[in-house]
Structure formats: C-alpha cells, structure tokens
Amino acid sequence: MIPRRAHETMSEFMNDPLLVQKQTEVSVRRRRVRSRRDFLTTFSAATAAAACLSWTDVLKLQAAEMRRRGKACILLWMQGGPSQFETWYPKPSHENGGESKPISTAVSGVQLSENLPHTAKSLNDICVLRSLTSKEGSHPRASFLMHTGYLPTASVKYPTLGAHVAKQLGDAAAELPGFVKIGRGLSSAQGGFLGVEYDPFTLNSAKRQPNNTRVLSSQQRYRRRLNLLSRLESSYAESGGRELVEDHQQLYETTARMVTSQHMSAFDISQESARVQQAYGDSDFGAGCLLARRLLEAGVTFVEVNAGNWDTHFDNFTRTRDLCNQVDQPYAALLNDLKQRGMLDDTLVIWLGEFGRTPRINPRTGRDHYPRAFSAALAGGGVRGGQVIGATDRGGVAVTDRPIEVVDFFRTVFHSLDIDADHEYMSNVGRPIKIVDGGQVVQEVFG
C-alpha cells in the first residue's frame, strides 16, 4: 500500500492541469518519460510500496536506473566551414579536387581524403553525409542556422541544439551543467527562450581547469554569502527588476551547486592514464574530445568541442592539412573510446561546420564559402556506420542524390536522441515554436 503522503502527492500530480498534457514532460538526466502511463510503469511495485516514501523519494530512487538508459550528444564543431574536398569527399578525377588525394577506408569502395587516415580506419562507425545543402553563406548567420535550425531574427531568441538537448534529456537538479562548450566559437546561439539555465558553461581550453571554481571559504560561510546576496537583490526585484534578478539567482544557484560538487574532478583530464591521453593526441581539440567523454560519464548531456579556423580563403591545402592533423586522431580516438566503454550506442557524435568550400580554387589557392553542397558526419546514437549518404556531380558543384536540407539534418539528430522534434515551446514573443519547423528524418542514417 502506498503511504498516504505519497498517494496524496501523486493525486495532486495527476490532477494538475498544467502537468496533465498529451505528452507530459517529466525529465531526468538523459531520459524522457513521454506520458503519465509511461511515468508510472517505470517504477517497480516494490519501490511504490516502500514505507514512508514521498513521490519525490520515489523519483530519486529510480533516477539512477533511468539515467543508465539515457542519451547524450557531442557536437564537434568545425568553425569556419571545412572543405569537403579535403575531408569527406575528395574529387581526384576533376580539377576541382585540387591537391588532396583519396585513400581507402575500412569500408570497401569508400574513399576519404588522405588528410583523415585515422578517421578512414574508423569509418565502420561513421555515417558520412555528402549532400547537405543550404542557402546561407555568411559565417554568423550560417553558424546560428547550423546550431539552431533557424536563421537569427531580432525578435525570437532561438535556443541552440545543446540547450534543447539539456532541456529534454538533462536533470535540472544535476550538479554539473547539462550543456558544456569547449573552445571559442562564432555562434551567438544560447539557451534562448528556454532560459539562461540552458546557456552553455564555456571553457576556453580543456587543458586548464575552469576559472573561479574553487570555494575559498568553508561551505557554511559560502552559503551565508549566497543568502546575503539574495537578500540584497530582493529590493531591486521588488522595484521592477524581478526577471533580471531571477535569471541572476538561477545562474548563481547552478554555479554554487557545481563548484561544491564532487563531480568537478571530471574537468581534470590529467587524471586519465598516459595511454589514454596519448590516444587523443596533444592538440587542444584532442583535450576537448577527452574532456567531452569524461563529462558525459559524469552526467553532462551535451558537449560541444570547437576546432578551427577552417575559413581557408587562401592556402587552402596546407591549412586544411594542418587542421585535419589536429582533428583526425582525436575524432577516431573518441569514437573508439566511447565504443570500448559501451557508451557509443547512446551517444550521438556530430562532425559539422556551417558550410563547405567552393569547388573552384581561387587565385590565392583558397576556397571560398559554399553552402550549396557540403558534408558532415554522424556516429553512435543508433546511427548505422560504414555508409555514405548523398552525392554531388563530378565537380562537386551541385547535389545530385539525396539532398539533405538543414531541417532534415536537425530532425535526424533529434530522432537519434529520441527527442520529439515537433514539440512546441512558448517563445519569448508569446507564440509557440517547434524545436524543428518542417523537414523529414533521413531514415537511411539508421539503416
């Protein structure tokens, strides 16, 4: 028999009109329960019958089990727009292919650029998308588009991909942020209308511990200082600044929970063995990939790792070769590490930039912006590796097979993460906005 207190709490939950919806959102880290029936059947009879347990107690007891079945995502962001010709889609039989030569891969009949030898050996775990297409060739606007699925506007504050994943899959009571961003990037997309609590926690480098995250006084004194700050802000809130104060207090509460957490050790990649660190290489990007894996193990649901600058308007071949040297080994190491730890099936790894580079090589041996046809890659998260989807013509000018629009790409990502792309949020302008507006899942990605 369920204790009276728990029974009353459940009754209130079931009868609350704000909570009883067609798809009730009840989130714990990396796991969504889609309806009241799903929510209730998640719990065992033994747990429900335990004496003196409130509804909250029942939730806490089951949270660990639900997290183990959850999803997570790593975005490897290639800032500046990488050349598809020198990475995923060499064109050796055409003058547009330039200097890059193709090499064989782990998948028979599929070739990549010679700049990605480690990635070529891991292609059985990777799905290459060679037919992405967009109309946006401006760095800031294209970066925003490829982070949110929307173009920027002056009115609506669209959330970035990481914010959606943290909102849908994360645990609001978690000690570490649900969304961590490593490295510098151009995208201005943040938590948007989801709120400041879904802005990314940003690190300039994975090789250094986060700044100002050590508590320099006793826990008791630290809490007293936070309480004093809250009282000082209350008068400003009462005089018209309530929204600003609430945002500020939310950030302080989240930060305080993080800096006092034992999970802060996840940010210290030096705790990894020399063998593991060597596998990822010594680049900043490699450190970021290693940190991403550690953060996912600590419960973070979305990590973005930036690499760049791929904006190769001049000296494209040398610069792209150098950038690939920084990215190739860590990318393959990350996939292998996740696979060995049993994490790859539930972790979607995205390799993506804002657009590609022009087929024609300019007079400075560079390639310019080209959103009309470019490449990306997906791995893990239910993706069927060892395949290539889409194609362009002989010179790489136009998509000739299986065009993938930006909205199609986003629907595919959310499908992998078991997030309803049609879910609507009330935006900051007072109208409902879907996570993804239009598009179709690229079903071939999943076999």
Domain end marker among 19, 42, 67 = 67
- Hey, which residues does 71 pair with through a beta bridge? none
163 and 200 fall within a common domain: yes
Which two structure tokens, joined as six digits, stand for 56? 């909250």
How would you class 263 by CB atoms within 10 Å of its CB: exposed for 0-12, middle for 13-18, buried for 19 or more?
middle
The last residue of a domain, from among 259, 277, 293: 259
Regarding whether 290 and 412 lie in a shared domain, the answer is yes
pTM of this structure: 0.80
Which letter does DSSP use for residue 190 in this model?
B
Token duo for residue 45: 């009879």
The pLDDT value recorded for residue 8 is 38
Q: Verify that 301 and 403 share a domain, yes or no.
A: yes
Q: What's the rounded Cα separation, in Å, for the pair 106 and 89?
A: 15
If asked whether residues 220 and 88 sit together in one domain, one would say: no
**Bridge partner list, 357:** 369
Range of the domain at 240: 216-259
The total number of structural domains that make up the chain: 3
Max distance between CA atoms of the chain, in angstroms, equals 79
Looking at the fold, whether 154 and 295 belong to one and the same domain comes out as: yes
List phi, psi (to 5°) of 404: -120, 110
CB-based contact 375:431 (threshold 8 Å): no
Residues 113 and 235 in one domain: no
* 365 and 304 fall within a common domain: yes
Which amino acid, residue 258? M
* 344 and 279 part of one domain: yes
Residue 310 confidence (pLDDT): 98
Query: pLDDT 10s per residue in the chain (447 long)?
Result: 434 433 333 333 334 333 333 333 333 333 333 333 343 333 343 344 444 555 444 444 444 334 444 799 999 999 999 999 999 999 999 999 999 999 999 999 999 999 999 999 999 999 999 999 999 999 999 999 999 999 999 999 999 999 999 999 998 778 899 999 999 877 778 999 999 889 999 999 999 988 656 655 566 776 676 677 666 667 666 666 677 766 666 665 666 667 666 778 999 999 999 999 999 999 999 999 999 999 999 999 999 999 999 999 999 999 999 999 999 999 999 999 999 999 999 999 999 999 999 999 999 999 999 999 999 999 999 999 999 999 999 999 999 999 999 999 999 999 999 999 999 999 999 999 999 999 999 999 998
Any idea what the CATH number is for the domain that residue 194 is in? 3.40.720.10
Give the CA distances from residue 161 to residues 40, 92, 303, 318, in Å, rounded to whole numbers and listed in that order. Answer: 29, 35, 10, 32
Same structural domain for residues 289 and 411?
yes
Q: Do 173 and 224 fall into the same domain?
A: no
| Domain end position, chosen among 196, 230, 259 | 259
Task: Say if CB 395 and CB 94 are below 8 A apart.
Answer: yes
In a shared domain, residues 425 and 360: yes
Q: Are residues 190 and 222 in the same domain?
A: no
Distance CA 247, CA 242 (A): 9
What pLDDT is attached to residue 232?
A: 64
